[in-house]
Amino acid sequence: MFLTYDKSGVSLAYPENWRLEEDSDEDARLNLTITSPNTAFWTLIVYTEALDLDHVLDQTLAALREEYPEIEIADADQEIAGQSIRGKDASFFCLDLTSTTRLRALHRGASTYLILSQAEDREMKVAGAVFDAITQSLLAGTGPLGGE
Output phi, psi for 52, to 5 deg. Answer: -65, 120
Q: Where are the domains of the chain?
A: 2-146
Question: Can you give the pLDDT of all 148 residues of the chain as single tens digits?
Answer: 899 999 888 999 999 999 999 987 777 688 999 999 998 999 999 998 999 999 999 999 999 999 888 889 999 999 887 888 999 999 987 677 788 999 999 999 889 999 999 998 888 889 999 999 999 999 987 434 333 3
Rounded CA-CA distance 50/86 in Å is: 14
Q: What global pTM score does this model have?
A: 0.89
Phi, psi angle pair for 92, to nearest 5°: -155, 160
2-146: CATH class: alpha beta
**CB of 77 closer than 8 Å to CB of 86:** yes
Q: Rounded to an integer, what distance in angstroms lies between the CA atom of residue 114 and that of residue 99?
A: 19
